[in-house]
């Protein structure tokens, strides 16, 4: 079976080494966004007038190929934010997801809610980049980092004022949680088989220590699943494909959020 994560990480090592030659850390630290105070996704997830959804801008993925080749990042993300997204997730990986740092910068320019830099972070340099382009949160994937690497990168991000979403896929990875992994995401998608199983979120939820926001990730496409996960104790829901698959992702989000808000109000 193809190990896509290992392939992406191998490619990322070369990519980051190349980018370091083009832009120094000092240059990144001089960017105007670098001194901006980051927004807290943890706090936005608690705002009762929002949906708890971290709405993703994703053009393509290894599991699904092309999802949406025409959507415009500013149109989509402003519609997400206007309709009650608690945060935005913007793919910055170009090779596998068709995203870019420019996408995130464009989203930042027109939105005032937290933005997750969705990428495969393996090096401090990418965290400095994240801060320099206006991200508020970075993703660390437990599957491709050792416990020591998670500890180091999470503390590095925290010291820059960024929040960290640690993504786990199995119970043994929960031991990589540190005080600086402010949010813990359970990915329902097996990254080897691409099979999605929502029950994975339910099984691992109770093992996440108190004090960390809990996020369910991937494969969610109906409001009843969100309600069930919310009742079980999840604070956030990372959803991409369900909205991006629509010709107009912003209006797909709006309809979804309306139904969800009505159901949540009736609880």
Per CB under 6 A, the list member of 20, 36, 63, 227 interacting with ligand LARABZUK is 63
The 8-class DSSP code of residue 171 comes to: G
Backbone angles phi, psi at 187, to 5 degrees: -85, 120
Cβ distance 225 to 204 under 8 Å?
no
Annotate each residue in 101-140 with x if it binds ligand LARABZUK (CB under 6 A) or - if it does not, as one string.
----------------------------------------
Q: How far apart are CA 33 and CA 28, in angstroms?
A: 9
- Give the one residue of 129, 217, 235, 246 binding ligand LARABZUK; rule: CB under 6 A: 217
Does 58 interact with ligand LARABZUK (rule: CB under 6 A)? yes
Q: Which two tokens stand for residue 229?
A: 């996960």
- Binding region for ligand LARABZUK (CB under 6 A) out of 153-161, 170-178, 215-223, 251-259: 215-223
Select the span of 37-45, 55-63, 129-137, 197-205 touching ligand LARABZUK (CB under 6 A): 55-63
Among 51, 92, 105, 187, indicate the residue that binds ligand LARABZUK (CB under 6 A): 187
Give the nearer residue to ligand LARABZUK in terms of CB position, either 61 or 105.
Answer: 61
Q: Where is 161: in which H helix or E strand?
A: none
Tokens 């491709």 found at: 144
| Burial environment of residue 199 by CB neighbours within 10 A (0 to 12, 13 to 18, 19 or more) | exposed
Identify the DSSP state of 35. G
| Residue 58 annotated among the catalytic residues of the structure | yes
Q: Exactly one of 187, 188, 201, 213 is catalytic; which is it?
A: 187
31 vs 198, beta carbon nearer ligand LARABZUK? 198
Produce one character per residue of 48-81: b if its CB has 16 or more CB atoms within 10 Å, e if not. eebbbbbbbbbbbbebeeebbeebebeebbbbbb
Q: How far is the CB of 88 from ligand LARABZUK (least distance, A)?
A: 12
Does 238 bind ligand LARABZUK (CB under 6 A)? Our answer is: yes
CA angle 85, 86, 89 (to 5 degrees): 80
The pair phi, psi for residue 197, each rounded to 5°, is -140, 105
Distance CA 197, CA 187 (A): 9
Number of residues that bind ligand LARABZUK (CB under 6 A): 18
Q: Catalytic: 217?
A: yes
CB of 185 to ligand LARABZUK, least distance (A): 8
List of residues contacting ligand LARABZUK (CB under 6 A): 4-5, 56, 58, 61-63, 187, 189, 191, 217-219, 238-242
**Which residues does the annotation mark as catalytic?**
56, 58, 118, 167, 187, 217-218
């Amino acid at each position: 079976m193809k190990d896509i994560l290992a392939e992406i990480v191998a490619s990322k090592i070369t990519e980051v080494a190349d980018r370091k030659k083009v832009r120094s850390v000092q240059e990144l630290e001089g960017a105007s966004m670098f001194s901006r105070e980051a927004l807290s996704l943890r706090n936005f997830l608690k705002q009762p007038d929002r949906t708890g959804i971290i709405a993703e801008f994703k053009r393509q993925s290894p599991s699904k190929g092309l999802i949406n080749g025409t959507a415009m990042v500013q149109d989509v993300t402003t519609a997400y934010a206007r309709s009650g997204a608690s945060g935005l997730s913007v793919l910055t990986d170009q090779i596998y997801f068709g995203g870019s740092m420019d996408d995130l910068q464009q989203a930042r320019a027109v939105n005032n809610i937290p933005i997750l830099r969705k990428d495969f972070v393996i090096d401090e340099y990418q965290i400095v980049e994240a801060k320099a382009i206006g991200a508020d949160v970075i993703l660390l994937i437990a599957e491709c980092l050792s416990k020591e690497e998670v500890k180091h990168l999470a503390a590095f991000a925290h010291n820059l004022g960024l929040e960290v979403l640690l993504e786990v896929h199995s119970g043994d990875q929960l031991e990589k949680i540190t005080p600086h992994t402010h949010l813990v995401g359970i990915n329902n998608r097996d990254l080897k088989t691409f099979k999605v199983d929502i029950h994975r979120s339910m099984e691992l939820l109770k093992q996440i220590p108190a004090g960390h926001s809990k996020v369910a990730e991937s494969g969610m496409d109906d409001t009843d699943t969100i309600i069930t996960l919310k009742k079980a104790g999840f604070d956030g829901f990372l959803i991409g494909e369900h909205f991006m698959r629509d010709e107009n992702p912003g209006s797909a989000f709006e309809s979804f959020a309306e139904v969800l808000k009505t159901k949540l109000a009736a609880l």
